[in-house]
Each structure stands twice: as C-alpha cells, then as structure tokens.
Structure 1
Amino acid sequence: MPDTRWTIPVARWSLWPAATSAAPDLGFIEPLTRRRLSTLSRAALKVAHDCVAHVPAVRLVFASRHGELGRTTEILHTIDAGKTVSPTSFSLSVLNTMTGVFGIVRGDRAPASALSAGTETLGYALLEAYAQYVTDPSAPVLLVYADEPADPAYGTVEDEVDGGALAILLDSSAQTGRLECARATVSDETDAALLGTTFSSQSHAVQHCLDTRTASAWRCKNSTWQWSWHEAA
C-alpha cells in the first residue's frame, strides 16, 4: 500500500476503557438480548449508542483484531470437554456479531461491514470509514473499534491490543473537528524519534489524539501511522 493521507469529519466520539470496573449501561437493549452479549459486544454497543442515540440511520464500520475470540475459546473448551455447544453462543461468535445486534436493536437497515487487519486494524478501519463517507457525504458513518487481549492459551501475541472500545461518528454537518490520518511506509532504519509522540498501540494513539487534541503516532515493522486534530472552521 502506498503512502496515503486523509481527513475525517468528527461529530462525536466515545470511549469505553478496558480498565473500567463498572458494566456498560445497555438499557437501550432488551434484557434477553443483553444477557447473551459478550464483554466485547457490550462495550462496542455502548460506545456506538453514545454516538448515534439520536441519529435515525447510520452506516456502520466495525473493526476488531481478535473479534469474539473469547467466546470462540469458550466454545472450543466446551467441545474439548465433550459437551454440547449452545447454538446461541455459536451464532454470536462471529466477527460481525455487534453489527447484527446493532441493526436489530435500532431497526436500522443501513449497510454495515466488519473488518480485521492484524495489528493495523484500527488504522485501516479509519480508512474504510473515510472511503464509505466520501462516496456519500450526506449520510453519516459510524466507526466502532473494540478489542480485548487473546486468551493466554494462544501464547504470546505480537503487538497485543490494549482492549476497550472506541466509536467515532463521521458527519460533516455536525462536526466538532477533523481527524487527519496518515500512513507511511518506513524502513527498519527509520529513527523513531522523528515520528513525534509514539504509543504502544493504534487505539492508544488515536484515543490520545482525540482526547488531548495533540498529534500521536504508532509504528510497526513496515509502516508508521500518525494522527492529528484540527478544530472545525
């Protein structure tokens, strides 16, 4: 992928940190459905609702490196123990679980997609959300990123995720500012000091930029991602 740069209009954003001890308030979801949700989907739906509670229809981009890996791991343990797997658990173990529940709860038939791109998942999700938005700027796009570390049974995971959930609503008619995103290919010899303030994960870097309005960056082996905030004109 060549070096690229793009800017998205941010109307609202919401964060649910992994370290939060309280359970997300999901009162907008009926109890039977709510009880079946994983920790990951609960956090994702919480931040999504925070951004679009009063938006009638919104295109959705959901992103997660590991997705519902926790539920999948439970299913594998169940199979290994010779027990019967719950059909509900199986149906809710797919990457796009959150998008389905989101659409059903809201009665929203707008397009929804789900993606995973390894350590660069959030960066490419921002690019996907931008691509969808520029095709039709009159309709808002909601980006939701949610993840949690893999079970220790899978061993050491390179550049492991921080966990938590982040939602960003792209809507130029109600923007509070613009988030500039950039990806550049770098060599192993690139001096990290030239990249500015760097963080251990993409999610941490993006959250820092949104929260402090200061530039942030994240670097992997072959590329550098950078984010900066610009106030609305």
Structure 2
Amino acid sequence: MPDLHWTIPVARWSFWPASASVAPDIRFIDPMARRRLSALSRVALKVAHDCAASLPTVRVVFASRHGELRRTTDILCDISAGEPVSPTSFSLSVLNAMTGVFGIARGDRAPASAVSAGAQTLGYALLEAHAQYATDASSPVLLVYADEPADPAFGTIEDEVEGGALAILLDASAQTGRLECARTAFADAAAHAPFDADAATPARFATQSEAVRQCLDAKAPVQWRGPSSLWQWSWHEGA
C-alpha cells in the first residue's frame, strides 16, 4: 500500500473513558431501547450525541476492532449451554448495531458505514471519514470509535485496545482546527522519521486511540507504530 497523507476539518470532538465512575447520559434514546444496549453502544452513543445533537442529519463512520464481541460471546455461551438465544441480543450483536440505534433515535436516514481493521482500526476509520467528506462536503461526517478489550476466553490479544469511545465531527463550515494524518509503510521501524525531520520525535503511544486522543487534547504531534507502518497525527489551529 502506498504512503498516505490527509487532513480533516474538526468541528467538535468528544471522548468517554472506560474508567469513568458514572454511566454515560443517553437519555435521548427511548427507555425501552436504552435498557437493551450494551456498555459499548452506550459510550458510543454518548460521544456521538455530544458531537451531532444540533445537526439535523449526519453521515456516520463507526469503527471498532472488536465491536459487540462480548455480546456475541454471551450468545455462543448460551448456545453451548443449550439455552435459547434472545432475538434482541442477536440483532444487537452486529458490529454496527450502534449506528442503527443512533439513526432511529434521531430519525436520520443518512448513510452509515462500519470499519474494523485490527489494531489500525481508528487510523483507517479516519481515512474513510476523510474520503467520504472529501467526496461530498455538503453535509458533516461523524466518526465514532468505540472499543473494549476482548473476553479473557480469547486469550492474549496482540496490541489490545484501550476501552472507551471517541467521536470526531468533520465539518469545514464549523471547524476549530485541522487534524493532519499520515501513514507510512516501512521495513525497518527505526529507520523512519516523524513529519518534520528537524522537530523532536512525537510522543509514541501503545494504541491508536490513545495517540489520537492525546493529539486532540494536548494539541501535540503523536505517533503509533505497527509491525509494518508508522501512523502520525498532528493538530493545527484554525481553518
């Protein structure tokens, strides 16, 4: 794959940590539907609503490495034990369950897509959101990334995810800054330099979500290294 470099206009962003001591407020969801939601969907809906509550319509790119894996695991355990499977649990076990609930709650028929790409999920979701907005900038694009570690039954997961949810609204008409993104393929991780060869090496993080969140929060360049590529992000104020 060739090296990639792109910039997205950021209007708003929101983050909800897995370690939060209170439950996310999702009262905009009907109580009947709300009680059926998983913890993952709840945090995803929270940050999505934070960014898009004032918009009449918004395209959604949902990203998650594991998605509703815990719900799926519970279903498989029920099957193994000879127990009946709940139709509701089954219908909400798909990767992009949150996007359906979000669209129904808002009465929004705008397109929604889902991305899952292992440890590089957030990076490629940012690329997908950019591609959608660059193709049609007439309406905003909302990127929602939400994940939680896999059940211990699956053993050790390489480059395991950080729990929590992050939403970023792409909208040039209301942007507060620009997020510069880059992916560079390499054979030798130690041989590659950051964006600016004269600048200090950006802080490196264990997961892409930690890196992007730090970039948005501290307005500082960051990077994440995979086995065959280097991902980098930097923040630029204004239009």
Tell me whether the two structures share a fold, i.e. TM-score over 0.5. yes
> TM tier, shorter chain?
over 0.9
Query: Which AA in structure 2 matches 1:91?
Result: S
Residues 179-227 of structure 1 deviation map (CA, whole Å, 9 limit, x = unaligned): 0000000223525786521000000000000000000000011000000
Residues matched between the structures, number? 233
> Corresponding residue for 1:222?
228
* Aligned partner (choices 186, 195, 199) of residue 205 of structure 2: 199
Alignment of 1:98-137 (within 5 A): 98-137=98-137
Q: Gaps (5+ residues) in structure 2?
A: 195-200
Shift, 1:100, TM fit: 0.4
> Corresponding residue for 1:75?
75
> Corresponding residue for 1:42?
42
**Counterpart Cα distance in 2 of 1:204 and 1:142:** 19
Change over 3 Å in CA distance of 1:189–1:209 after alignment to 2: closer
> Corresponding residue for 2:157?
157
> Corresponding residue for 1:231?
237
SS at match of 1:62: strand
**Counterpart Cα distance in 1 of 2:102 and 2:159:** 29
**Counterpart Cα distance in 2 of 1:51 and 1:190:** 38
Residues 6-39 of structure 1 deviation map (CA, whole Å, 9 limit, x = unaligned): 0000000000011112100011011110000000
Asked if the contact 1:188/1:221 (under 8 Å) is kept, the reply is: no
SS at match of 1:25: coil
Taking only aligned residues, the RMSD between alpha carbons, in angstroms, comes to 1.1
**Counterpart Cα distance in 2 of 1:130 and 1:192:** 25
Tell me the TM-score normalised to structure 2 length.
0.95
SS at match of 2:119: helix
Q: Gaps (5+ residues) in structure 1?
A: none
SS at match of 1:23: coil
Query: Which AA in structure 1 matches 2:235?
Result: W
Alignment of 1:185-196 (within 5 A): 185-191=185-191, 195-196=201-202
Following superposition, which runs of at least 4 residues in structure 1 exceed 3 angstroms of deviation? Answer: 191-195
Tell me the TM-score normalised to structure 1 length.
0.98
> Corresponding residue for 1:96?
96
Asked if the contact 2:189/2:228 (under 8 Å) is kept, the reply is: no
Asked if the contact 1:197/1:216 (under 8 Å) is kept, the reply is: yes
**Counterpart Cα distance in 2 of 1:140 and 1:106:** 15
**Counterpart Cα distance in 2 of 1:186 and 1:163:** 28
Residues 62-97 of structure 1 deviation map (CA, whole Å, 9 limit, x = unaligned): 000000001001101111111000000000000010
Match status 1:208 vs 2:209? no
SS at match of 2:190: coil
**Counterpart Cα distance in 1 of 2:97 and 2:174:** 29
> Corresponding residue for 2:197?
none
Shift, 1:148, TM fit: 0.2
SS at match of 1:119: coil
SS at match of 1:21: coil
**Counterpart Cα distance in 2 of 1:193 and 1:124:** 21
